[in-house]
Amino acid sequence: MLHVKSNIFTTLVSVDWHIDNLCDVLLLSQAMFGIFPICGLRHLNSAQLSFKYRSFSFIYSMLIQCGIVLMFTTSIYKQLNSRIEYSKAGKRRIWFCF
């Protein structure tokens, strides 16, 4: 049971944390970070959860994944094309800033 309080911390403490509440928090956090793109998270019935290719959450997830791949490939490209001799790198401190 969620009791409405004036403070968010007291609201979080007063929540009766069952497995359903924990699954809701987990699904919402995964949807926010684009890890698990499912539709119907706001419905009260869990039978209405579905996966759709043509949805905002799927497109959002794919954009995040493409961004991660782009950052990874550009950082590898920058490392391979840098002019640092790694045999001499132990003698001095090198701070990598991307």
Convert the pLDDT of each residue in 50-96 to its tens digit: 778 888 878 888 898 899 999 999 998 888 887 766 665 555 555 55
- 36 found inside a domain: yes
The C-alpha angle 34, 36, 39, rounded to 5 degrees, equals 100
Is residue 21 included in any domain, yes or no? yes
Q: How many domains does the chain fold into?
A: 1
* Domain range for 25: 8-80
CA dist list (Å): 7 to 11, 21, 24, 47, 55: 6, 19, 21, 32, 35
pTM of the full predicted structure? 0.52
68 located within any domain: yes
In a domain, 33, yes or no: yes
- Convert the pLDDT of each residue in 2-22 to its tens digit: 444 444 444 555 556 666 667
Supply the pLDDT for residue 73: 94
| 94: in domain | no
In a domain, 25, yes or no: yes
